[in-house]
Chains A and B, each alone.
Chain A
Amino acid sequence: MAERIEVISKIVDARATSLAKKFTAQKFAVKSVAIADIYTIDSSLKRTQLSQIQEMFVNPVTQQLLTLQELHFDYAIEIGFLPGVTDNVASTAREMIEDFLKVKFSLHDGVYTSQVIFISGNISKEDTGRIAHSLYNPVIQRASTKSYSKYLRDRGMDRIVPRVKLTATQKVDSVDLHISDEELVRLGKSGIPDADGTRRGPLALDLLYLKTIRAYFDTKKRNPTDLELESLAQTWSEHCKHTIFADPIDDLKDGLYKTYIKKATSDIRKKLGRGDFCVSIFTDNSGAIEFDKDFLVTHKVETHNSPSALDPFGGSITGIVGVNRDAIGFGLGAKPIANTYGFCFAPPDDNTLLYKGPNKTQPMLSPRRIMDGVIAGVNSGGNCSGIPTPQGFLNFDVRFKGKPLVFVGTVGIIPKKNKGKKMYVKKARPGDYIVIVGGRVGLDGIHGATFSSEAMDSGSPATAVQIGDPITQKKLSDALVKEARNLGLYNSITDNGAGGLSCSVAEMAKESRGCEVRLNKVPVKYPGLAPWQIWISESQERMTLAVPKRKWKKFAELMKRRGVEATVIGEFTHSGKCSVYYHKEKIMDMDMNFLHNGLPRRKLTTTFTQVKHSEPQLATSENLNNSLLKILARPNITSFEFISTQYDHEVQGTSIIKPLQGRGRVNGDASVMRPLLSSNKGLVISQGLYPSYSDIDTYHMVAAAIDTAVRNCVAAGADPARIALLDNFCWCSSTDPERLGQLKRAVKACYDIATVYETPFISGKDSMFNDFKGYDDQGNPLIISVPPTLLISAVGIINDIVQAVSLDVKFPGDLLYVIGETHEELGASEYFYLLDHDRGIDIGNSVPHVDAYKNTKIYRAFHSCVRKGLITSAQSVGRAGLGVAILKMAMGGLLGINIELNKLPGSFSRDDFVLFSESQGRIVLSIAPQNKKEFEKTMSGIPYGLLGIVTADQKVVIKGIKGKKIVNMDMDTVLEAYKQTFKDY
């Protein structure tokens, strides 16, 4: 019988106090809250063993076992996981028990955790139900409630054991594809039918693909097995093959990726010649550039949007821990050294609900819960893994309400060579064992790849949700990257991400030209999984390796000593076939060539309509204090210190320019780090993203994103000649020719801008269907599409970290300059959005244009000044323009500024437009007065303007074009505006 160990704090519990505060804020008459941690152990234990386990789980100084007598409350809520959901605390509990008792639990034993929340106060049964609802997520958790009297009567909560019980047959079905077109479409959309008529979930294969598959199997004179069809669905998914970027589009027969992204990089590399710093691009799990003569730096950014909408915590932790594996899976294994993030949410104060189902069924989580959960997931994933998370941003738009965009990235480092062997080259050889290491396989994450290749609607599968387990991965990562790699114990490695084994094994099998897999050897979390489920499950924390037979023993021993499970599941071959067996039965027998290259190319066509917005007619204002303060408080601009401080950004000891800078603790736009403690060479990482510009023109949206990422990097001290880029496209409705037209313009901008900056793309990813199809709070059908968005992530190099530049002004009397030109470019700007909010105006058309040739000169000149040590502080001018940039510098230094706008290079006629224009290519900076001559000499030929000086009086004074004071405020007022929005988050 299952035993419950119930542990409660005997002193004040901060977790309970903070819950009580939350309930009170939600207007429940809660007096006090207590939390009990429950461990349900489903294994036969002796009484003495049980009491020993209790001793391990209860801290005698602060905790005790829960006893009925001492408890007084009104309602109790128990929240636990649904069967099969990853329960990390339970894994630790189980490991502790096994280590202590020196036993190994069987597949039928289990440990599960839950929490009971005891609430005292004047609350009703209905209140309790609503409180429970605000605490748990029905996609992954269960909740039950009891009143005090019922609790006493039952002597506690019910004894629930969320064991997975599977009834599905382990038989392999063959799937008849000789059915009507209509039936084929249904098969593609809803999946393979089971005997009872239910469908297994989306294959996301369209009619053309299914007919191609049918034709292939006709030549083999048989139908595909369910596993073969699922396998093709994974491998051919938009998520894995990026067909929209690969297929011919209009007149571009090589498709968008080859024509613009890949070509940008190859053209740049040609031009750089011997100065080329790209080493491994596009082909591996991350892209890599040269860091110094001995090391490479890798970078990769992913999105995890759909899962984060359903289970924000699980979605984002899986995202961050997953992208870590893109570093670990680069070459023979890079060590993750930094995480990046970027979250696009709906405004968190939006309380109207969305529903996936009609008649107010299947409610979506509120924007605030999605925001809180996503932030917490990256916290847990990054912090637990010991990888610093310095760099990130928030962006808000009501159109992120259906699906948030959750960008997560990981920078890695890897030696170029080990014992003469290139570490960035890998090749599985015929005869090598196929080995999987790390976590076990369960039902979690089935159909993740095909799911994310579709819009989210009422049919979105709940099994698509996984929860990452950073500790299992940390053990795996350390054992591989810090040990097995350097011992040369394997020939190749890749991540198990989307599509699970079906993708990772088939992908590596390209290196040897074939594989033979024994699926029954794959370790599972619980019995009863069907072979196709094992093959495509996306259960996390697994890597697939090619281990030479003669090295297996040594490899297996090492993994065992590190507490990492490693299993041989087959062999790489050169048969040209991907063969899979389940016990003796051959259940997949497919030509590698068909699997990887058999998908037909579809010709995409696009249309493009230039949208015309009306230009806002605005009265001029003499005083811009209020506008500036309001803009500082907007969610896109305001301080997100609460995130920066809950993400460890100093682990590994590499932090140089931190996420919060200066006395005023201002969020910067770039982070500088020192990846090797023994070297002064540094890395600069930054990002750029402007979804709102897409409403005017996606070309300029992209141009601004690239320019901003590059400029942020340069402003922090990076060498503009040593910056590489990553592109992450998050599009919507990508079957719509108009959306594809926007995409085509956008990708062209990637080529146009990057080639001028000579900043190669080294890796990228796309997520093309960020649409929500459901119902609003009145039950009316509704489609919400995200604005077409490109995130550009930049990674740059700075030769000497001591030359890194922070944003805070440092001394009264220092001179403030702006470099770059200011024009009246306010289309879709933060200022127009602010006014829109206030007065309901349109966004205009004058979106900023990037002059990459001019900007290149500006950035190079700025960098010369950095190398000469002239720049004492700098802030790249981004969203919301010059006014905010200058205020950030002043807040950073907690010093006043006194400036005039009349010496600004550019063209303009209004003070508010000067202050809030988002013209690209500008940096504000300060220098010591004695360096004026040297600075201006270095800047000759570059548009620059002397704005004014830093003052000691903590006053912000800005004089307009005509010399009148347009801003005059105290630093305290400015700081308060900047920090108030998320103060209580």
Chain B
Amino acid sequence: MKPKALIFSGYGLNCEEETAFAFETAGATAQIIHINDLIAKKTLFSRFQILVFPGGFAYGDDIGSGNAYAQKIRNHLWPEIEQYLKGNNLVIGICNGCQILINLGLLPGINLQYGKRQVALLHNETARYIDRWVDLKNESNSPWLKDIKSFSAPIAHGEGKLYATAETLQELKKRKLIALRYFKGEMCNYQNLPANPTGTLSDIAAVTDETGRVFGLMPHPERALFFTQLPNWPLLKETYLRNKKTVPTFGPGLQIFKNAVRFYQ
């Protein structure tokens, strides 16, 4: 079955097009729908297996990044979301989408307490927006991360420092809800950058809920879809050519989207 992905848009979300492209490239069908059109026609939910909150700057990050968009969902679409979570469906939030899922209380959803805010994303330690590449290590069994040990992708955000109380952090660990951690891998070594760009707690870059089907990550896998998006592709290209190897087309981010498609096969 070719799964269908619903990609939210509106109010300043802005990565919907490249995210849709990533899902299509991976073999899914993707449709971008403005949140107001969903509110007007709530039955649309039932046509989709994958719910996608893409990156962006919903409401300009005002009053907490992701907060205002989450409130809008809470005000208008909460019953549909709750119903949706009961099915065998996938949810992903990327960057601003991750901030939305956390504010909406879909993540980490300890004890499946959806709707309750349990962790928070704070301003980066530098108090500044940052765009750079990071390396990520997978620690979860989420279907989104199947067969991925580690990969590299860019981050681009101002509020990505995860905060949780010591108690909550214990729960996250115990229940294996920490999905990705920053580590010093290929890109950090290449660009000589520290592993953790934001000062996030325990290097956490992504979390899942207890089912593993709801996944929120701060990095942008849709910006690591192609080989030529890598910061070191010119060097790699030259290396491949001198070793008489073919230059690849795709990048490491594609696997995440492929995993979503594979989940339904």
Contacts and interface: CB of A to CB of B under 8 A. Distances in A.
Interface of A: 11, 13-15, 17-18, 37, 56-57, 59-62, 88-89, 91-93, 95-96, 99-100, 379, 383-386, 470-471, 474-475, 478, 561-563, 644-653, 655-658, 660-665, 674, 677-678, 801-802, 804-806, 808, 810-811, 869, 872-873, 893-894, 928
B131 A648 contact: yes
A145 B222 CA distance: 47
B68 interface: yes
Contact of B120 (A59, A93, A661): A59
13 contacts: A59-B64, A59-B67, A60-B117, A89-B60, A89-B63, A92-B59, A383-B57, A383-B158, A385-B57, A650-B154, A653-B22, A657-B234, A660-B231
Contacts of A657: 234
Interface in B1-50: 9-12, 14-15, 17-18, 21-22, 34, 36-37, 40
- List 3 tightest A-B contacts by C-beta distance, closest first: A386-B14, A653-B18, A92-B62
B36 A386 contact: no
Contact of A872 (B14, B59, B64, B238): B238
A99 B129 contact: no
A14 B64 contact: no
B170 to A, nearest CB: 15
A941 to B, nearest CB: 27
Contacts of B164: 61
B120 A379 contact: no
A59 B117 contact: yes
Given A60-B117, A650-B154, A802 B223 contact: no
Given A99-B75, A478-B9, A561 B37 contact: yes
Contact of B18 (A652, A656, A805): A652
B10 A808 contact: no
A92 B234 contact: no
Contact of A808 (B57, B132, B234): B234
B127 A15 contact: yes
| SS of B interface (majority) | mixed
B56 interface: yes
A811 B225 CA distance: 26
Contacts of A96: 59, 63, 68, 71-72
A664 B122 CA distance: 29
A563 B131 contact: no
A93 B15 contact: no
B169 interface: no
B235 A99 contact: no
Nearest to B58: A471
A474 B117 CA distance: 28
Contacts of B62: 88-89, 91-93
B117 A61 contact: yes
Nearest to A873: B234
B113 interface: no
B50 to A, nearest CB: 19
Interface in B117-134: 117-120, 122-132
A56 B120 CA distance: 14
Contacts of A383: 57, 129, 156, 158
Interface in B159-192: 161, 163-165, 190-192
Given A471-B60, A561-B36, A646-B130, A14 B222 contact: no
Given A62-B163, A92-B60, A651-B14, A645 B234 contact: no
Nearest to A102: B75
Contact of A379 (B129, B163, B165): B129
Contacts of A99: 71-72, 75
A61 B119 contact: yes
B89 interface: no
B75 A100 contact: yes
Contacts of B118: 61
Contacts, number: 189
Contact of B127 (A17, A37, A655, A804): A17
Given A386-B57, A663-B191, A804 B234 contact: yes
Contacts of B220: 650
B57 A471 contact: yes
Contacts of A471: 11-12, 57, 59-60
B245 interface: no
Given A651-B156, A802-B237, A928 B242 contact: yes
B229 interface: yes
Nearest to B102: A61
Contacts of B22: 653
B55 interface: yes
Contacts of A11: 122, 163
A259 B36 CA distance: 52
Interface string B211-243: 000000000101101101101101101110110
A802 B246 CA distance: 12
B17 A652 contact: yes
B112 interface: no
A386 B223 CA distance: 13
Nearest to A39: B63
A298 B40 CA distance: 36
Given A100-B71, A650-B156, A475 B10 contact: yes
B122 A14 contact: yes
A66 to B, nearest CB: 15
A674 B233 CA distance: 14
B234 A810 contact: yes
Nearest to B197: A645
A645 B123 contact: no
B128 to A, nearest CB: 6
B125 to A, nearest CB: 6
B130 A645 contact: yes
A674 B18 CA distance: 12
B56 A386 contact: yes
B133 to A, nearest CB: 9
B196 to A, nearest CB: 14
A11 B162 CA distance: 12
A911 B213 CA distance: 65
A715 B14 CA distance: 32
A663 B190 contact: yes
A648 B242 contact: no
A806 B131 contact: no
A656 B228 contact: yes
A649 B223 CA distance: 11
Contacts of B190: 663
Nearest to A682: B228
Given A384-B12, A649-B131, A652-B15, 9 more contacts: A14-B122, A59-B117, A91-B62, A561-B36, A647-B131, A648-B131, A655-B223, A664-B192, A811-B238
Nearest to B158: A383
Contacts of A93: 62-63
A953 to B, nearest CB: 18
Contacts of B10: 475, 478, 562-563
Contacts of A91: 62
Interface string B71-98: 1100100000000000000000000000
A716 to B, nearest CB: 11
Given A14-B123, A18-B127, A647-B131, A656 B229 contact: yes
A645 B59 contact: no
A159 to B, nearest CB: 20
B222 A653 contact: yes
Contact of A665 (B15, B67, B120, B191): B191
Contacts of A893: 235
